């Protein structure tokens, strides 16, 4: 059995990782940590765990790190470095659900997150954890920067286009909408029920911190410096992301050929489903699952491809992705513990 621990386990990302790990046949959860809720049991904080996980959160992250073979960190940006270093010193594997090991360029991290990489040597070991595009590196990694939720949906939606250079220009417009769990459990003025319910609005338009992560990875896929204009929106649902991407295509590229290309590139990927032409990706059918559903559409008049990509931000966008990566790191079948079907209605 793999011994797994979660630090920052009282947050949304950490508790979602716990939900999946408890159902994983090859994992034993050996420790969970939290600060404000230290000494409360998991089920006191989250009643869905009642009689399933009644252990208390401990305050000391080191205790969890020492007991575990793999540590999942669901912490705010800027505090994972020291924990990751401790884990690696003890030959453990570390999967960071936050943004501290995603960006290759320290200047990008400093600019977008307002913090510096303190331990440069540690960042040489980081591997970007989008399983479908970095599989071989992930298998040998000890330190994973699990992708952001929006970047996961966008990259999976654009990967075939990037690989085949089907874009007419290197600038792509991306509109995304996320459920409110994306903002974490801490209540803010903008996440009050009264403010989100029956509303829908953009935020951080053209200025969201996932922009450099998306550009970094699209550029690696295409081998060219890609740029995006990214506009996230807050959707009054608990879970789910819908990303809509608009790509001006090279001449003579047809929708049917693009559909075949997507089918071909994703044919062995269980968690990426290319919907038949004419169907529309819908977040309802991926919620609570590790699936990413993609639909393809053509604006014929402007020769613009429209790609719609949907995921559950808490699963393929966070915890499910992290467990998919753990499976790869430990040589398990990649879908172990992740075979959930979404709701029918
Ligand atoms: N929600 C989502 O959809 C996604 C989240 N992520 C990332 O995952 C990480 C966690 O996000 P999320 O779960 O949403 O956030 P939450 O605010 O829900 O949880 C944060 C967790 O971190 C703990 N924490 C806060 N400050 C400290 C500290 N100084 N030292 C130790 N623990 C601390 C909190 O515990 P306590 O309050 O007890 O201190 C809590 O357990 C973030 O980096 C986020 O960006 C990534 C992808 C998607
Ligand atoms: C709806 C909502 O607020 N979403 C969050 C997503 C953040 C997130 O999860 O991003 P990291 O993993 O990079 O921290 C946001 O826009 O900041």
Q: Please, which residues have CB within 8 angstroms of residue 330's CB and are 6 or more apart in sequence?
A: 2, 26, 70, 93
Are 39 and 173 in a shared domain?
no
Nearest CA to ligand 1 atom 15: 184
CA 226 to CA 233: how far, in whole Å?
22
Are 189 and 70 in a shared domain?
no
Catalytic status, residue 149: yes
Are 257 and 175 in a shared domain?
yes
Residue 274's CATH number: 3.30.360.10
Residue 43's CATH number: 3.40.50.720
Are 165 and 301 in a shared domain?
yes
Q: Does residue 135 form part of some domain?
A: no
11 touches 74 (CB < 8 A)? yes
- pLDDT confidence band for 223 (50 / 70 / 90): very high
Q: How far is the CA of 151 from the centre of ligand 2 (A)?
A: 10
Q: Does residue 318 form part of some domain?
A: no
Are 54 and 116 in a shared domain?
yes
How confident is the model at residue 261, as a pLDDT? Answer: 98
Are 237 and 184 in a shared domain?
yes
Residue from 11, 31, 102, 323 to probe ligand 1 pocket by mutation (most atoms less than 8 Å from CB): 11
How confident is the model at residue 59, as a pLDDT? Answer: 96
Q: Does residue 139 form part of some domain?
A: no
265 touches 323 (CB < 8 A)? no
226 touches 162 (CB < 8 A)? yes
- pLDDT confidence band for 36 (50 / 70 / 90): very high
Q: How far is the CA of 247 from the centre of ligand 2 (A)?
A: 24
Q: Does residue 74 form part of some domain?
A: yes
Are 162 and 309 in a shared domain?
yes
Q: One of 53, 142, 149, 292 is an active-site residue; which one?
A: 149
How confident is the model at residue 1, as a pLDDT? Answer: 96
- Residue 186 alpha carbon, nearest atom of ligand 1: 17
Write out the H or E segment, with its range, that includes residue 64. helix 61-67
How confident is the model at residue 200, as a pLDDT? Answer: 96
Are 262 and 166 in a shared domain?
yes
Q: Which residues line ligand 1 (CB under 6 A)?
A: 8, 10-14, 34-37, 74-77, 79, 97-99, 148-149, 181-182, 184-186, 313-314, 317-318
Are 80 and 214 in a shared domain?
no
Q: How far is the CA of 332 from the centre of ligand 2 (A)?
A: 29
Q: Does residue 137 form part of some domain?
A: no
CA 25 to CA 65: how far, in whole Å?
21
CA 218 to CA 225: how far, in whole Å?
8
Are 156 and 98 in a shared domain?
no
Beta strand extents in the chain (DSSP E only):
2-7, 27-33, 70-73, 93-96, 126-128, 143-145, 171-178, 201-202, 227-234, 241-248, 272-274, 292-299, 304-311
Q: How far is the CA of 51 from the centre of ligand 2 (A)?
A: 31
Range of the structural domain that residue 91 is part of: 2-124
Write out the H or E segment, with its range, that includes residue 135. helix 131-139
**Number of compact structural domains in the chain:** 2
Q: Decide: pTM greater than 0.90.
A: yes
- pLDDT tens across 302-327, in order? 999 999 999 999 999 999 999 999 99
- pLDDT tens across 91-138, in order? 999 999 999 999 999 999 999 999 999 999 999 999 999 999 999 999
Are 107 and 167 in a shared domain?
no
CA 48 to CA 168: how far, in whole Å?
49
- pLDDT tens across 259-291, in order? 999 999 999 999 999 999 999 999 999 999 999
Q: What is the Rg, in whole angstroms, of the alpha carbon atoms belonging to the chain? A: 20
Q: Does residue 330 form part of some domain?
A: no
- pLDDT tens across 158-211, in order? 999 999 999 999 999 999 999 999 999 999 998 999 999 999 999 999 999 999
| Mean of the per-residue pLDDT values of the chain | 97
Residue from 148, 192, 195, 200 to probe ligand 2 pocket by mutation (most atoms less than 8 Å from CB): 148
Tokens representing residue 47 in the block: 């009643």
Q: Does residue 344 form part of some domain?
A: no
């Amino acid at each position: 059995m793999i011994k797994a621990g979660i630090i920052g386990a009282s947050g949304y990302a950490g508790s979602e990782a716990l939900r999946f790990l408890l159902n994983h046949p090859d994992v034993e959860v050996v420790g969970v940590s939290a600060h404000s809720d230290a000494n409360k049991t998991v089920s006191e904080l989250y009643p869905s765990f009642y009689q399933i996980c009644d252990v208390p959160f401990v305050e000391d992250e080191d205790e969890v790190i020492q007991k575990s073979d793999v540590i999942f960190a669901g912490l705010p940006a800027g505090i994972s470095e020291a924990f990751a270093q401790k884990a690696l010193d003890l030959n453990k594997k570390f999967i960071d659900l936050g943004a501290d090991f995603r960006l290759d360029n320290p200047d990008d991290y400093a600019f977008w997150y307002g913090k510096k990489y303190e331990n440069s040597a540690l960042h040489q070991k980081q591997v970007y954890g989008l399983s479908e595009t970095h599989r071989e590196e992930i298998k040998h990694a000890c330190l994973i920067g699990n992708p952001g939720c929006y970047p996961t949906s966008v990259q999976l939606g654009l990967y075939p286009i990037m690989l085949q250079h089907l874009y007419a220009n290197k600038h792509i417009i991306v509109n995304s909408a996320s459920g409110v769990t994306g903002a974490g459990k801490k209540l803010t003025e903008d996440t009050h029920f009264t403010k989100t319910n029956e509303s829908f609005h953009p935020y951080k338009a053209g200025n969201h911190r996932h922009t450099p992560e998306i550009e970094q990875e699209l550029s690696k896929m295409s081998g060219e410096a890609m740029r995006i204009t990214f506009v996230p929106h807050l959707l009054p649902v608990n879970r789910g992301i819908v990303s809509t991407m608009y790509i001006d295509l090279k001449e003579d590229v047809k929708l049917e050929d693009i559909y075949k290309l997507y089918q071909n590139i994703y044919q062995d990927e269980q968690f990426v489903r290319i919907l038949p032409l004419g169907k529309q990706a819908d977040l309802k059918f991926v919620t609570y699952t590790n699936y990413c559903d993609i639909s393809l559409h053509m604006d014929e008049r402007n020769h613009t491809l429209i790609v719609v990509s949907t995921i559950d931000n808490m699963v393929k966008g966070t915890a499910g992705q992290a467990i998919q990566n753990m499976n790869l790191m430990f040589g398990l079948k990649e879908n172990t513990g992740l075979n959930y079907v979404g709701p029918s209605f």
